[in-house]
Chain A
Amino acid sequence: MAAYITHPALSSLCKINCNINAIYSLISFSRRISISSVLSTSAVTTESEAAGQGVRGQRRSKRQAGEPRTERMTVDQDWTAVYPTAASFKPSTVPLPVRMGYPVKRGVPPAKKGNLELIKIPNFLHLTPVAIKKHCEALKQFCTEWPSALDSDEKCMKHFPIQVQSKEFVSAGLSLKNPDARIVTLKVKLSSLNLDDHARKKMIKLGEERYCKDTDTLTITTDSCPLRQQNYDYAMYLLTVLYHESWKTEAWEQEKTRADMEEYEWEDSPSQKNVLDTLLRMRPLGAKDEVEELLGQPAVQEYRDTMLRLKNEGETEENLHKYKEAVKKLFNI
């Protein structure tokens, strides 16, 4: 195997979709191990030293610290050798003049030497682009080739509109398994499905909060079954059922009221009635006039457009301004 794997227990072979939490838990796990090992050794040494000193109890002179390793680092060194795995921040090993912390009394943030803040936070010094390239090179022997025909995102979406995501976890603890590994997320864009107007509206209503209007994506997350395979099958089943149900029209769907409508429609709305009433009062219907003709006037159409914009897009100063213009035209002010 490659040289970067020094501690088999600490290595993390993750799939691309592995999240930071998993890595973080590994780092904290490793840190716990390293700190606990340090503590145990120091406890042992102090005990032996105290036994050696005996009654005197004087502090032995501290050994001087040598020059930090950063002084001897060249610019073109191999960084993957310095930080091969996830490790805490070591100020003598990182040649960057980093400062972190609160500037007390209008001063500057404290330097990196002995800075607990820098040690506490997670760092990605082991995941530089060079290191990741090395990881990829090592993993390539286990991968199959990417199909050459799918060279752009659009083609991928066109041929594979359904995206299924799941997470893999590797842990070295009392149990190798992680219960979160069974969660499956299925994402599909409704534009790629064959839906007509009624089916689309019904699907969105059935999906409730699983549908995102901005990206037009339906996201189904399943975690009710214990195995990933079962959850995947369940998610596919849900998608199939939603699709077929939204194509059917039930008898009670005729009772859909204005409050249930997703978008504002001007036809048959109180707004249309008001405008019609007002116009009729201004000029009573002659023998030749017809309601449709009255409504077909350009001023009325413009009013209709502004109303639709006001109601569907929400009210803004700009929309209100356009509405004012339309009303003025309608009444010839």
Chain B
Amino acid sequence: MNLHKLSSRLCPTVSKFRHLHIQSSGQQLEAVAVETESTEPNPLSVFRTSEQNPTYHSERHTGQYYTLPPAHIQKLFPHGLPPRFQLQIKTFNEGCVMVRPPVLELISYLKKADYSKPPLRYILYGDIGTGKSMSLSHALHYCYTQGWLIVHIPDAHLWVKNCKELLPSSSRPSRFDQPIQASQWLKNFKITNEGFLSKIKTTQQYVWTKRESTEKGQPLGVLVDQGVNRMKSSSDVVGAVLRELRLQAGGTTEGEGAFKLAVAVDGVNALWGKTSLKKEDRTMVCWCKPEELTLIHNLRKMMKNNWSGGAILTALSQTGSLFKPQSAYLPSELLGEEGFDNMEPFVPVSVSNYNEKEFESCYLYYLERNWLQHPHSRSEEGKKELIFLSNKNPSILERLCAFL
């Protein structure tokens, strides 16, 4: 994985056509490269930091990129990273995240918080494309390295729109199930929290159908498997899993089962917004309300702070939201009255465009990756153009550079 990086460091001015050759001959260079790595101080990596653990990130790392270990990416973010970032990881063969002040602030709160008290709710808000989802992923990486149990919903908007199958709920008559979404989420949950599945035990019996039920005291893994295998009851399984986690998070009685719970929801304003799902109701077709969906109902219960031993990290998102204007980015605009009343008291964390240093970092990173192919982009003029065109907005800059 590091061959590409090493080779590009050795020959910084290589043209794009020679990349393929270098990768194949990289094995010969490897032996040489190991020695040169320690001797020559690399001028290009002023924007990188070697600190891979988010626990130790501090102000002196702001603006620098740190690499997400690939093992972590596979486990922690099977579905979690924003799609464009996933493409970037595939292209650059590495996942690098910039350390930015809002995340440092969030991580400092997480470090200082008292976990015997009810969880604090943090809402990341900001204009479109300023990096809220990425910041959430960074904070989640911190929680993962600390050994917390992660409940990550990458985009709550996906649960309120474009659902192919909407079944009336088996357990409650007025609710609707989304089997595909629920079972997919359970699969990803299983990948992320492999270690905890055998340690946590259920506290009550759950009856799914006349023949199937999960007894009390079974490990959580059995519950999750039940949901993955039986699609019909997967939404109810999600509800049960969330309930179990709520009851047992931060449990001080069982020394072995004590864990901290991180609930991360991206696009949390979907929970109190409108849906674009239609329901057939006695020959009339009308829109579903979010509370009529089982998944949303259970997730709303998670958002309340009537449990203890964890933290609720959320990010607002206008891009996937339904029926909200593009200019809305402040919490009460996107959450609405109901959402605001449910979520408060929360700590709002503002995420904004890059400042000078961060922009410089990003620019150098793209240069180093040879992502900016246009010769003009390497000059000062080109850099000024990029600043002007993107207004230092991370996502616009990324899309612009993709063309160059």
A278 touches B346 (CB 8 A): no
Task: Indicate which residue in A270, A275, A315, A328 contacts B331 across the interface (CB closer than 8 Å).
Answer: A315
Task: Indicate which residue in B114, B306, B341 contacts A281 across the interface (CB closer than 8 Å).
Answer: B306
Task: Indicate which residue in B109, B306, B346, B348 contacts A333 across the interface (CB closer than 8 Å).
Answer: B109
Query: At the interface, yes or no: A239 with Cβ under 8 Å from chain B?
Result: no
Chain A, 252-275, contact with B by CB distance < 8 Å: what is the 0/1 string? 000000000000000000110011
Chain B, 330-365, contact with A by CB distance < 8 Å: what is the 0/1 string? 111100000001001111111000000000000000
The chain A residue sitting closest to B345, CB to CB, is: A327
- Given A271-B344, A330-B345, A333-B113, A310-B306 contact (CB < 8 Å): no
The chain A residue sitting closest to B349, CB to CB, is: A324
B341 touches A271 (CB 8 A): yes
Task: Indicate which residue in A270, A275, A315, A324 contacts B333 across the interface (CB closer than 8 Å).
Answer: A315
A320 to B349, CA, bound (A): 9
B120 touches A331 (CB 8 A): yes
A315 touches B332 (CB 8 A): yes
Query: At the interface, yes or no: A303 with Cβ under 8 Å from chain B?
Result: yes
Query: At the interface, yes or no: A323 with Cβ under 8 Å from chain B?
Result: yes
B332 touches A282 (CB 8 A): no
Query: At the interface, yes or no: A153 with Cβ under 8 Å from chain B?
Result: no
Task: Indicate which residue in A310, A317, A333 contacts B347 across the interface (CB closer than 8 Å).
Answer: A333
Per the CB 8 Å criterion, the residue count for chain A at the interface is 23
Q: How far is the CB of A309 from chain B (nearest CB, A)?
A: 12
Chain A positions within 8 Å of B306 at CB level: 277, 281
- Given A278-B118, A281-B306, A333-B109, A320-B344 contact (CB < 8 Å): no
The chain B residue sitting closest to A323, CB to CB, is: B348
B332 touches A310 (CB 8 A): yes
In chain B, residues 320-334, which have Cβ atoms closer than 8 Å to a Cβ of chain A? 330-333
A274 touches B350 (CB 8 A): no
- Given A281-B305, A320-B331, A333-B347, A274-B341 contact (CB < 8 Å): yes
A328 touches B347 (CB 8 A): yes
A324 to B347, CA, bound (A): 5
- Given A278-B118, A282-B117, A320-B345 contact (CB < 8 Å): no
Chain B positions within 8 Å of A317 at CB level: 350
Chain A positions within 8 Å of B117 at CB level: 281-282, 331
A324 touches B332 (CB 8 A): no
A129 to B306, CA, bound (A): 75
Chain B positions within 8 Å of A321 at CB level: 350
A320 to B305, CA, bound (A): 21
**Best-buried of A278, A321, A330 by chain B (most CB within 10 Å):** A278
Q: How far is the CB of A250 from chain B (nearest CB, A)?
A: 28
A320 touches B330 (CB 8 A): yes
Q: How far is the CB of B316 from chain A (nearest CB, A)?
A: 12
A303 to B306, CA, bound (A): 20
Query: At the interface, yes or no: B90 with Cβ under 8 Å from chain A?
Result: no
Chain A positions within 8 Å of B118 at CB level: 278, 281-282
A274 touches B112 (CB 8 A): no
B305 touches A333 (CB 8 A): no
A220 to B350, CA, bound (A): 46
A61 to B343, CA, bound (A): 90
Chain B, 257-278, contact with A by CB distance < 8 Å: what is the 0/1 string? 0000000000000000000000
In chain B, residues 58-115, which have Cβ atoms closer than 8 Å to a Cβ of chain A? 109, 112-114
In chain A, residues 195-228, which have Cβ atoms closer than 8 Å to a Cβ of chain B? none
- Given A315-B332, A320-B330, A333-B345 contact (CB < 8 Å): no
**Best-buried of B112, B125, B330 by chain A (most CB within 10 Å):** B330
**Best-buried of B330, B344, B346 by chain A (most CB within 10 Å):** B344
In chain B, residues 295-335, which have Cβ atoms closer than 8 Å to a Cβ of chain A? 305-306, 308, 330-333
- Besides A281-B118, A331-B113, A333-B120, 11 more A-B contacts (Cβ < 8 Å) are A271-B341, A274-B341, A281-B117, A282-B117, A303-B345, A310-B332, A320-B330, A323-B348, A330-B345, A331-B117, A333-B113
12 inter-chain pairs at a CB distance below 8 angstroms, sorted by A residue, are A274-B341, A274-B344, A278-B345, A281-B118, A315-B330, A315-B332, A317-B350, A320-B125, A320-B348, A323-B348, A331-B113, A333-B113
List chain A positions with a Cβ less than 8 A from chain B. Answer: 270-271, 274-275, 277-278, 281-282, 303, 310, 315-317, 320-321, 323-324, 327-328, 330-333
Give the top 9 A-B pairs by smallest Cβ distance, nearest first: A270-B341, A282-B117, A315-B330, A281-B118, A315-B332, A327-B345, A320-B348, A327-B347, A324-B348
